[in-house]
Structure 1
Amino acid sequence: MGPRRLLLVGEGNFSFAAALSETLDSSVCLTATCLQHPAELARDPVARENLQRLRERGTEIRFCVDCTQLANAFEPQDREFDRIYFNFPHCGRKAGVAKNRKLLAKFFQSCVDVLAEEGEVHVALCRGQGGTSADKPQREWHNSWQVVAMAALGGLILSDVLPFRCEAVPGYKCTGYRSQDKSFHIEGALNHIFTRSLPFEGSQPRVFSIKLGDQWFSFSEPKALAGKLNRGFLEASSCHPIKIINEKLIVELGKIFPLKRLKCSFPLLPLEGTSVLPSWNCDSMSSFWINLHEDNSDSEFLNGEITKEMEDFLVSFSQFSIYKSPRRDGKEVHEGISGQAKVWLRSSLLVHVQAIIQAPDFLPGSLYILSGPVFRKCHILPFTMPAFHETLLILGFNQSLKDGCLPSLLNHLTGILDSFLTQTLPEGSMLSSSVEFVPQLNANNYMIHVKSHNFGPDCAKDLIIGSVTSSAANITHKDQYFVFVSINLDLLAMLTWGIADWRMLWTFDNRFMKKFVPGEIEPFKSYSLYPPCYVHDISFWLNEEKGFDELEFHTVARAVSQDTIISIQFLGRFHHPKTEQVSLCYRLTYQTCDKALTQQQVASMQSQFRKEIQQQLHVIPR
């Protein structure tokens, strides 16, 4: 359904309103406003003619409307406009960029009071004024109107940019401030379309309740993982692209191997018993630790909300032997939990390998598939993520078939992955995505490299989307050889649809899911364009006794900024010649992918970051 109520502000001679009214359906309600008093327009014959045309069509006309105070111009029942238009705003005369930025900022903040929930704000600007990459040529940021940053002050994001075409509204003649005769140069002008952004409050850490035996425990999401636990992207009812690509992968593999799909448990693992895990996954430094606290409150309610959404996970988690630690003889010792327990979030599905292949019903020759979320602390880099979904393929076969089965599996995977990664390339394109299994020091292990052109020439580089690990026989299957393939589904989905930012996969904005049609793979187009960057430097003195953990520094930055820090660059190290103290300096770049972010919010985050690193990392900010 198209827009039903339109509001035009800053109309000079009302030629845009008159021209637009002729193109609208009779069911659309148009309200045209201007800042001038009627007497000021009486001397302009063009304005008089246009006003007459509008009145004949029944258009609502309002004078003396200040676009920076729209709530004052309309009663509550008369608000909720589907679209608000402001063409070529300008403070008049020789106003500089600073004054025009201020005008835009106040206008956007005013729009929110009268804009429908899914409404749009259209702002037409002359070439170069917007300060985005859509401008050709693009002005330097400080010399532009910084339209996206100004819109963020009203909680709005730039969702589309289109050429401003006068021919679409025949008869429109733009005028200067207060209907001055001098018009703007609109060659190369752009129409910027803004929509509402989700507030940052939606990313606050949540508290969950979980039952172990007869006891209830509560735990909070780690702040660096706020909004990333229990999202259900792989559930049967999900239409998330991660689910779509995983199902496509499984279907293609099912054409080659007999499949056994396994249900994945909730990703909390016990502190005890990690000795049975493969050595390459016992990286406690990069794990997220969780403290379970005994919950004596009403377990049916938590923070005023029923915890039913956790029900499926509670069942699988309570069945997991969190309170059973294995003895050296392999038997379990039951240890009741009282007060609290310390657990960790799995960093890879490979932690489940031993349990799967040692199960009595394990069938060599069948391809076992386990899919689920994993979590690990990591540095802030474009293609590294603290939370993602992994698919684990497990294949066991006789050692005598090793030379044939392993190459066959890798060849099939190469073809499947390559078919996914080339679907969104332009038709007839000479470019291609290449999948390569790069051997490691251990010749039986490989890293899965992909070179993709979906993100443009700057990102046409090798990305690691998974690994292949092989293992000789174990106690249970003495004559068997095993291959474990781990694939990062989030990165595979990004490469397949051309989603340039991994954070977009975790958005709570419903517009993201509307971009995906079941059964189709089309290039992804973001609904938040050209978000501005904000750069802050931070330096601090180290505590020699405590040391400095750079991974934890990145993790604190991720938590405090709610994933809005996209880059941390080390600038230098200073050694004081007298005190012998050591100081480090870093540059932090803030930018969102799906929300409005203001300079004031960033300054607040930066201030909080200084406090957090002093408290958690025992450094002294300078």
Structure 2
Amino acid sequence: MGPRRLLLVGEGNFSFAAALSETLDSGVCLTATCLQHPAELARDPVARENLQRLRERGTEIRFGVDCTQLANAFELQDREFDRIYFNFPHCGRKAGVAKNRKLLAKFFQSCVDVLAEEGEVHVALCRGQGGTSADKPQREWHNSWQVVAMAALGGLILSDVLPFRCEAVPGYKCTGYRSQDKSFHIEGALNHIFTRSLPFEGSQPRVFSIKLGDQGFSFSEPKALAGKLNRGFLEASSCHPIKIINEKLIVEMGKIFPLKRLKCSLPLLPLEGTSVLPSWNCDSMSSFWINLHEDNSDSEFLNGEITKEMEDFLVSFSQLSIYKSPRRDDKEIHEGISGQAKVWLRSSLLVHVQAIIQAPDFLPGSLYILSGPVFRKCHILPFTMPAFHETLLILGFNQSLKDGCLPSLLNHLTGILDSLLTQTLPEGSMLNSSVEFVPQLNANNYMIHVKSHNFGPDCAKDLIIGSVTSSAANITHKDQYFVFVSINLDLLAMLTWGIADWRMLWTFDNRFMKKFVPGEIEPFKSYSLYPPCYVHDISFWLNEEKGFDELEFHTVARAVSQDTIISIQFLGRFHHPKTEQVSLCYRLTYQTCDKALTQQQVASMQSQFRKEIQQQLHVIPR
């Protein structure tokens, strides 16, 4: 259904309103407003004629409406406009960019009071004024009106940019250039379309409950993983691109191998001190550790009652269990987790390999598939993520068939990945294979490299989306050879649809899911364009006794910024000649992919970050 109520602000001679009114359906209600009063427009014959045309069509006209105080102009029942138009805003006379930015900021904040929940704000600006990459040529940021940053102050994001075409509204004549009866230079002008952004959630982490046997426990999600636990992207009812890409992969693999799909609902790993992790994935330093607390009414861990919304998040965690070390009996395990226990979130599905291949019903020759979320601490980089979904392919076969089965598996996988990665490319694109298996020191192990065709020349040419690990016979299957293929589904989905920011996969905004149709793959177009960047530097003295862990530095930054820091650049190291103290300096770049982010919010995060690194990393900010 199209817009039903339209609001025009800042009308000069009402020519836009008059022209637009002739194009609207009878069911659309148009309200045209201007700042001037009737007496001020009486001397303009063009304005008088347009006002007469509007009155004949029954258009509502309001005078003396300040676009920066729209709530004052409309009663509560008269608000909820589907679209608000402001063409070529200007403070008048020779106002500079600073005054015009202020006008835009107040206008956007005012719009929120009268805009429908799914409404749009249309702002037409002359060439270069907006300051986005859509402007050709693009002005320097400081010399532009910084329209996306001003809109963020009202909680709005830029969702589309279109050329402003006067021919679409015949008879429109923009006026008011420097408060005169002169037109703005509208060649190359752009219409910027803004929509509401989801608000930033509170920084308090969610609390989850789990049941181990008959005992209930609770834990708080790590701040760096806020909003990334228990999302259910791979559930049967999901239409998430992660689920779509995984199903396509599984269906194609099933064409040459009999499949065995395994359920995966265990994001928790062993208790601290147990040793069931396989040797290839025991890097506990990059794992997220969590504390389980006994869940009872006297516990100080739970703050208040859990809301109904929180209960919805807890459902799929209710049946979780922790792996038990074979060196302990059930009684010891129960006693070990009584009251409080420390566990980690799995960093790879490979930790389940031993349990799968040693199961009594494991069938060599069948392809076992396990899919689920994994979590690991990592540096803040464009294509590394602290949480993603992994698919693990496990194939066991007789060692005498090694020379035939392994190449067959890799060739088939290459064809599937190539097909997925080229679906959104223009027709006729002549490309070689996008996939390459790069051997490691162990000749039987490979890293899966792919070319990122969808992200342009500025992106890294090759990305690693997974690995192939092979293993000789084990105790259970002495004559068998095993191949384990691990694939990062999030990265594969990004490359397939052209989703440039991994954080978009985790958004709570419903507009993201509306971009995807099961069974179809079309290029992804973001609903949040040209979000502003904010840059802050930070320097601090190191504590020689405590040392410095850069991975933890990135993890704290991720947590404090709520994943809005997209880059951490090391600028330099300073050694004080007298005190022998060492200082490090970093540059942090803040930017969101789905929410409105303001300079004030970033300043607050930066201030909090200084406090957190002093407390957690034992450094002294300068």
- Give how far 1:335 is off: 3.5
CA separation in 1, counterparts of 2:300 and 2:334? 27
Residue 326 (structure 1) shift: 2.2
State the Cα deviation string for residues 43-83 of structure 1 (Å, max 9, x = none).
Answer: 00000000000000000000000000000000000000000
Supply the distance in 2 between the matched residues of 1:124 and 1:542 (Cα, whole angstroms). 50
Match of 1:88 in 2: 88
* CA RMSD, 1 decimal: 2.3
Q: CA deviation at 1:270?
A: 1.8
Mean alpha-carbon deviation: is it higher for 228-237 or for 312-321? 312-321
Contact map agreement 2:212 2:321 (CA 8 A) in 1: no
For 1:307 and 1:478, how far apart are their aligned partners in 2?
A: 53
Q: TM-score, normalised by structure 2?
A: 0.96
- C-alpha displacement at 1:322, in angstroms? 2.6
- Once the two structures are superposed, residues 348-393 of structure 1 have per-residue CA deviations (whole angstroms, 9 ceiling, x without a partner) of 0000000000000000000000000000000000000000000000
- Verify the 8 A CA contact 1:421 1:433 in the aligned structure 2: no
Change (3 A) 1:601 1:391: same
Is 2:151–2:157's contact at 8 Å kept on the other side of the alignment? yes
| Aligned-partner Cα distance in 1 for 2:258–2:81 | 56
Label 1:316 to 1:227 Cα distance change in 2 as closer, same or farther (>3 A): closer
Most deviating of 292-301 and 406-415: 292-301
> How many pairs were matched up?
622
Cα 1:176–1:333 change in 2 (3 A) is closer
Instruction: Give the distance between the partners of 2:478 and 2:318, measured in 1 at CA.
Output: 32
Equivalent residue number for residue 79 of structure 1: 79
3-state SS of 2:477 partner: coil
Mean Cα displacement is larger for which, 202-211 or 215-224? 202-211
Aligned counterparts of 1:599 and 1:475: Cα–Cα separation in 2: 60
- The question of whether the paired residues in 2 share the 8 Å contact of 1:13 and 1:179 is answered with no
Does structure 1 conserve the Cα–Cα contact (< 8 Å) formed by 2:445 and 2:469?
yes
Q: State the shift of 1:271 in Å.
A: 2.0
1:295 to partner: Cα distance: 1.4
Deviation for aligned residue 1:325: 2.9
Cα distance in 2 for partners of 1:20, 1:315 equals: 51
Give the C-alpha shift of residue 338 in structure 1: 1.9
* CA displacement 1:466-514 (0-9 Å, x = unmatched): 0000001111001000000000000000000000000000000000000
**Cα 1:298–1:574, aligned 2, differ >3 Å: closer, same or farther?**
closer
* CA 1:241–1:164: 2 relative to 1, 3 Å: same
CA 309–327 in structure 1, closer or farther in 2 if over 3 Å, else same: farther
**Contact persistence 1:373–1:388 (CA under 8 A):** yes
Q: State the SS of the aligned residue for 1:233.
A: coil
Residue by residue, what CA displacement relative to the aligned partner does 1:66-102 show, whole Å, maximum 9, x if unpaired? 0000000000000000000000000111100000000
What CA deviation, in whole Å up to 9, does each residue of 1:370-419 have, x standing for no partner?
00000000000000000000000000000111111101100000000000
Offset at 1:216?
1.3
**Structure 1 Cα separation of the partners of residues 227 and 269 of structure 2:** 20
Q: How much has 1:201 moved relative to structure 2?
A: 1.2
> Whole-Å Cα distance in 1 between the matches of residues 203 and 583 of structure 2?
33
Matches within 5 A, 1:350-369: 350-369=350-369
Cα distance in structure 1, aligned partners of 2:160 and 2:65 = 27
Report how far residue 432 of structure 1 moved: 5.3
- SS for the counterpart of 1:332 is helix
User: Quick one: distance in 1 between partners of 2:273 and 2:136?
Assistant: 60
The structure-2 alpha-carbon separation of the partners of 1:594 and 1:423, relative to structure 1 and needing over 3 Å to count, comes to: same
Change (3 A) 1:528 1:313: closer
Following superposition, the deviation at residue 180 of structure 1 comes to 2.4
Aligned 8 A contact 1:324 1:332 in 2: no
- Segment drifting more, 320-329 vs 583-592: 320-329
Task: Rate the CA distance shift 1:319–1:562 in 2: closer, same or farther, 3 A.
Answer: closer
Instruction: Confirm or deny: 8 A CA contact 2:293 2:301 kept in the other structure.
Output: no
> 2:274–2:325: 8 Å Cα contact kept in structure 1?
no
| Residues 147 and 354 of structure 1: CA distance in aligned 2, closer, same or farther (over 3 Å) | same
Q: Is the 8 A contact 1:88 1:126 kept in 2?
A: yes
CA displacement 1:114-141 (0-9 Å, x = unmatched): 0000000000000000000000000000
Query: How much has 1:532 moved relative to structure 2?
Result: 0.9
Post-superposition Cα deviations, 1:414-446, rounded to whole Å, max 9, x if no partner, equal 000000000000111234551000000000100
Deviations 1:8-55 (A, max 9, x none): 000000000000000000100000000001000000000000000000
Which shifted more, 610-619 or 209-218? 209-218
On the 8 A contact 1:274/1:282 being kept in 2, the answer is no
Q: 1:22 to 1:140 in 2, by over 3 A?
A: same
Structure 1 contact 293–340 (Cα < 8 Å) conserved: yes
Gap change, CA 1:539 and 1:267, over 3 Å in 2: same
Check the 8 A contact 1:41/1:48 in 2, yes or no.
yes
Cα distance change on mapping 1:254 and 1:309 into 2, 3 Å: farther
Provide Cα deviations, 1:287-339, integer angstroms capped at 9, x if missing partner.
00000111113999988887899999989877765374321899986535321
Distance 1:112 1:596, change over 3 A: same
**Cα distance in 1 between the residues matched to 2:505 and 2:285:** 26
Q: Secondary structure at the match of 1:194?
A: strand
Contact 1:36–1:178 (8 Å) recurs in 2: no
CA contact (8 A) 1:17 1:32 kept: yes
Q: Could you tell me which runs of 5 or more consecutive residues in structure 2 were left unpaired when the two chains were aligned.
A: none
Deviation at 1:151, TM superposition (A): 0.2
Equivalent residues of 2:270, 2:276 under 8 A apart: no
2:390 corresponds to: 390
Separation (CA, whole Å) in 2 of partners of 1:303 and 1:328? 34
Comparing 367-376 with 448-457, greater Cα deviation is found at 448-457
Shift of 1:463: 0.1
Alpha-carbon distance in 2 for matches of 1:402, 1:313 = 45
CA distance change for structure 1 residues 196 and 328 in 2, over 3 Å: closer, same or farther? closer
Inter-partner Cα distance in structure 1 for 2:433 and 2:294: 51
Match of 1:404 in 2: 404
Distance 1:46 1:179 in 2: 16
The alpha carbon displacement at 1:613 in A equals 0.1
Task: Check conservation: 1:561, 1:605, Cα contact below 8 A.
Answer: yes
Contact 1:453 1:460 in 2 (8 A): no
CA contact (8 A) 1:105 1:150 kept: yes
User: Does the aligned pair in 2 maintain the 1:101–1:145 contact within 8 Å?
Assistant: yes
CA contact 2:210–2:320 (8 Å) conserved in 1: no
Give the distance between the partners of 1:499 and 1:70, measured in 2 at CA: 37
TM-score w.r.t. structure 1 length?
0.96
Query: Could you tell me whether the CA contact under 8 Å between 1:208 and 1:307 is conserved in 2?
Result: no
CA deviations over 1:131-161 (Å, ceiling 9, x no partner): 0000000000000000000000000000000
In structure 2, relative to structure 1, the CA distance for the partners of 1:359 and 1:193 (3 Å cut) is same
Compared CA separation, residues 306 and 130, structure 1 to 2 (3 A) = same
Q: 1:590 to 1:317 in 2, by over 3 A?
A: closer
Residues 276, 310 of structure 1: alpha-carbon distance in 2 compared, 3 angstrom cutoff: farther
Are the equivalent residues in 2 in contact too, given 1:209–1:302 (CA < 8 A)?
no
Deviations 1:552-605 (A, max 9, x none): 000000000000000000000000000000000000000000000000000000
Per the TM alignment, residue 177 of structure 1 is displaced from its structure 2 partner at its CA by 5.4
Aligned-pair distance for 1:453?
1.1
Q: Within 1, Cα distance between the matches of 2:391 and 2:354?
A: 16
Post-superposition offset of 1:528: 0.2
